[in-house]
Structure 1
């Protein structure tokens, strides 16, 4: 059995969805091939605990999407097809430490700074955001452009003209600085560390990773401007809106069918094969997979250079992650009642404790005191839970894929996540939250645990349970994500494009690589049409 379209997209994560939608709206015929039975990758929701409680299964928060270029193209089309967001216009995120100290961030940056104890930190915070505003063309240009030699050259020239040499040097210095060093050099108090250091984990970084000095103010500015929107009714409604768009534009969706091979003809990608069918592509194949899968599994060895294959084999993956979903008999009652209205809270003591937990996880140990991300989506969207009740979305980003021990020496790691460690570690995490939310344990109606091994089983790009599809250290970031790319999504194989979290601009729900690839394919087609017209 075979089919033919202009473009075939492998995988239906955020980047695959964006690429398919933009191409379809431009008039191209598109086929999506997805190994799972449903579209979405790490975007889903459902009643995972008990009936009436809707949990965002994996990802949840969409500031990167609503602030990105893909949303500019697709936002109105998706809204017409039912996509609605719930957001906070007041407090947006917070941190609470083991000593009970609480730091709050509001949509209003000045209100956030007003809560800092040190007078100089109030000014330094607004200066930080102002400096980012000055660097915005370079920073967001790098995050939203191809970083091949031509793209880097154009970006460097534009930045040099606008920022002068001193501005360029300042930006490069910050880009090479870790988040911890950046904060320590600018602030005296604990508030910015407690608020923003945990957010580095959401970019696949540690507090001591290079690029943190840029990513930290980027994240702060994004949340001040765009908040933390969640999809009304649950993340599955995001996928439903895309499905309606695909129905309306004729996109063919093939689910439950894993791609086993990219078909080449005279060195050009012309389609894909699954166990049961062949999907041919007249213009392009777009692969939302890891570098290892692309270059060592899907392409024939004779089509790929030894250097490219070797580079793909050495692509590294990061720490595993874990999710815990709770159905609660009532909303959480925090010791500091200001937290009762906060959509997302980090239970953390800041960079020092995060660094320890990252080191423990990297050594294969269950962290003694992990950084706990607590999402209270039902505050923003009451439809997530029955009246008077609540959901809790818990994420852990410092987890070993195959634990070899417990930092506290308390948990039995026999049989890894299939053994007693699964429930015992969830208990540790919930108890840690309960230190700042007395009575939490007694309100739990039901819980659901998603271990790193479950993430990998659901999404083959999450190798070793890494939801970000690869370490985001600087040698696997920006132009070098991945090193096989030469800074672009168009590969060395004619007609083949590489997208997804393993490619620039990296993980998250922005859809950046899908957008960049789709727009280039559209542009190349337009140029060819004009050439034929005038020839």
Structure 2
């Protein structure tokens, strides 16, 4: 390969985040010659680990617990355990600590979870077991439906066959309920309701938003069925396994290769040029694991896109900015309530009304004075993360979306986070032997796809899901540019380490190339895009 023009490859994948690596692996499985262009010096996107707090302590820099990654049919089919990936579980999946000191626990043993929620309201234990039984009846087709291209024909048909029309209609209603409403319809006490609502706030939605219930229900039930496991040895092991698998199939990753432009002619993607002036020619496809605005406006350019698509992008909504802190602790967290001691993940600082107030502050552009915290006890889940008898801890919370936040505002928010931890775990501060703070700007500088410190590739709100993601369209990876595919979390089915967007993009590229004649497939997609844009 020369310094200016690379030899042609079948596919160029922009971005070595997990979706880009999933797409590259699936194309390599089909015998394609694939190169992945990664702007930074390391693969993984938001799945990376490093020692950033103190010697001997390992921190996951972005994501940490992986119920979706563990349960996803896409990730399971890749066989990553054959490439060094192994999983660990904390004794408890999740504990939600209320301001009054009570706790609701989610454990992989359903009866243990039931006993915890029963303490909040008589009968909620049985109601939890009934809700879980309902979940198990739809779990497999539901997961198949979630992680396949829109419309999900096979998974949808399987769900309909199991539920019958009446059951399907009731499931459809459940999918659009706010999490507070869903919790109150199923349970009587606040414990079980908070397990659902707290899980919903892993997105940028509030407990009052339409559609938030399905996220809470999904994460809680996945936790009950599969747990929220972590990779032994750090999140980086997922990335390492994807990279190792790709290499065994002949794929190649170029680091420090920041995409500058998707090369197009006559409405077709021909390759990618990088900021260093190098050009990569793609015989069959270009797949982009970057946010939708970056692909369309920066890499392709508005001039070659339908005007209505460009107009729609002006309404693209990001999710919230994030502040993440990692701590190295010289001992276990001294929780007031011992129910938190064995949990991999802790939801901290809010009851149901508190969750609503927190989300309302974000919606109105205010910095929450009482932030809702997601806390991860990584050594509790995987003892290899720190020396024996210590804890590698993290917490994150959200700020309203901004492209940049002043350092003093971020540090003031970190103080609020640490005060909340100290309130629930007196003496926490005395155990800190190292700390690493990543504000929104820090997250974006380390990973350009985390625009403004956002984690989801765009809001999880109903108006930007399914065929409305990232903008009103087909709900597919195909773009108006022939042979160009969106493979990031900005595409359906959205955020989470499940590989869905990457797999969907790879499937679309393969369909364009093989399953239909190229011209027929392109004509079909182009006709659909003309009708929309």
Give TM-score scaled by structure 2 length.
Answer: 0.91
Q: Deviation of residue 91 (structure 1)?
A: 1.8
Residue in 2 aligned with 1:363?
364
Cα contact 1:128–1:217 (8 A) shared by 2 = no
Matches within 5 A, 1:167-186: 167-186=167-186
Among 69, 72, 81, the residue aligned to 2:73: 69
237-246 vs 492-501, greater mean Cα deviation: 237-246
Cα distance in 2 for partners of 1:285, 1:432 equals: 46
Q: CA RMSD in A?
A: 2.3
Is 1:431 aligned with 2:419?
Answer: yes
Equivalent residue for 1:511, pick from 499, 503, 522: 499
Q: Give the structure 2 partner of residue 202 of structure 1.
A: 202
Match of 1:470 in 2: 458
Which residue number in structure 2 is paired with residue 86 of structure 1? Answer: 88
1:406 paired residue number:
none
1:156-205 CA-partner distances (Å, limit 9, x unpaired): 66554543332122112112210011111221111112323111122332
- CA–CA distance in 2 between the matches of 1:93 and 1:322? 21
Question: Which residue does 1:37 correspond to in 2?
Answer: 41
User: Which region of structure 1 is more displaced relative to structure 2, 3-12 or 511-520?
Assistant: 511-520
1-structure distance, mates of 2:320, 2:132: 30
Q: CA deviation at 1:366?
A: 2.0
Asked if 2 retains the 8 angstrom alpha-carbon contact of 1:319 and 1:465, the reply is yes
The alignment partner of 2:358 has SS state of helix
2:145 equivalent to 1:142: yes
3-state SS of 2:319 partner: coil
User: Which residue number corresponds to residue 23 of structure 1?
Assistant: 27
Within-5 A mapping of 1:354-433 = 354-396=355-397, 398-402=398-402, 416-419=405-408, 421-433=409-421
Is the CA contact 1:45–1:56 (under 8 Å) kept in the aligned structure 2?
Answer: yes
Q: Which moved more, 1:167-176 or 1:370-379?
A: 167-176
- Map of 2:523 onto structure 1: none
Equivalent in the alignment of 1:339 = 340
- Contact kept? 1:198, 1:371, Cα under 8 Å: no
Question: Equivalent residue for 1:126?
Answer: 129
In 2, Cα distance between the equivalents of 1:311 and 1:279?
A: 30
Q: Which residue of 2 aligns with 1:408?
A: none
Judging changes above 3 Å, is the alpha-carbon distance between structure 1 residues 6 and 530 closer, same or farther for their aligned structure 2 residues? Answer: closer
Helix, strand or coil: the match of 2:424? coil
Residue 80 (structure 1) shift: 2.9
Deviation at 1:517, TM superposition (A): 2.1
Give 5+ residue unaligned stretches, structure 2. 520-533
- Comparing 202-211 with 323-332, greater Cα deviation is found at 202-211
For the structure 1 residues 424 and 476, does the alpha-carbon distance in structure 2 shift closer, same or farther, using more than 3 Å as the test?
Answer: same
Q: State the secondary structure of the residue aligned to 2:202.
A: helix
Deviations 1:467-505 (A, max 9, x none): 112111101012211124411111222111112111111
Q: Distance in 2 between matches of 1:79 and 1:140?
A: 20
2:522 aligned partner: none
Shift of residue 344 of structure 1? Answer: 0.9
Distance in 2 of aligned mates of 1:210 and 1:17: 33
Counterparts of 1:424 and 1:308, CA distance in 2 = 40
Deviations 1:27-49 (A, max 9, x none): 21111111111111111111101
Distance 1:175 1:241 in 2: 34
The alignment status of 1:450 with 2:438, answered yes or no, reads yes
Q: How big is the shift at 1:525?
A: 4.3
**Residue-by-residue CA offset, 1:330-370 (whole Å, 9 max, x unaligned):** 11121122321111111133332122112212333221111
* Structure 1 Cα separation of the partners of residues 186 and 423 of structure 2: 31
Task: Evaluate the alpha carbon distance shift between residue 517 and residue 437 of structure 1 in structure 2; reply closer, same or farther with a 3 A threshold.
Answer: same
Q: 1:494 to 1:87 in 2, by over 3 A?
A: same
User: Following the alignment from structure 2 to structure 1, what is the Cα–Cα distance between the partners of residues 422 and 487?
Assistant: 40
Do the aligned partners of 1:325 and 1:392 also contact (CA within 8 Å) in 2?
Answer: yes
Give me the whole-angstrom Cα distance separating, in 2, the residues matched to 1:468 and 1:101. 31
Contact 2:145 2:156 in 1 (8 A): no
- Report matched runs for 1:196-345 at 5 Å: 196-276=196-276, 277-345=278-346
**SS in structure 1 at match of 2:503:** helix
Per-residue CA deviations over 1:114-143 (Å, capped at 9, x if unaligned) read 221223212221222233334446643431
Distance 2:165 2:82 in 1: 46
CA distance in structure 2 between the aligned counterparts of 1:424 and 1:161, rounded to whole angstroms: 53
Give the Cα separation in 2 of the matches to 1:458 and 1:208.
33
Alpha carbons of 1:86 and 1:333: their partners in 2 closer, same or farther (altered >3 Å)? Answer: same
Indicate how the Cα distance of structure 1 residues 254 and 210 shifts in structure 2: closer, same or farther if over 3 A, else same: same
For the residue of structure 2 that corresponds to 1:93, the secondary structure is strand
Q: Is the CA contact 2:205–2:359 (under 8 Å) kept in the aligned structure 1?
A: no
| 8 A contact 1:365–1:400 mirrored in 2 | yes
Number of equivalenced pairs: 512
Contact 1:85/1:232 (<8 A) preserved:
yes
The verdict on how the C-alpha distance between 1:196 and 1:452 changes in structure 2, with shifts beyond 3 A counting, is same
Secondary structure of the residue aligned to 2:35 is strand
Are 2:478 and 2:486, in contact at CA under 8 Å, matched by a contact in 1? yes
CA distance in 2, matches of 1:526, 1:192: 49
Alpha carbons 2:21, 2:246 under 8 Å: kept: no
**How far, CA to CA, are the matches of 2:77 and 2:194 in structure 1?**
35
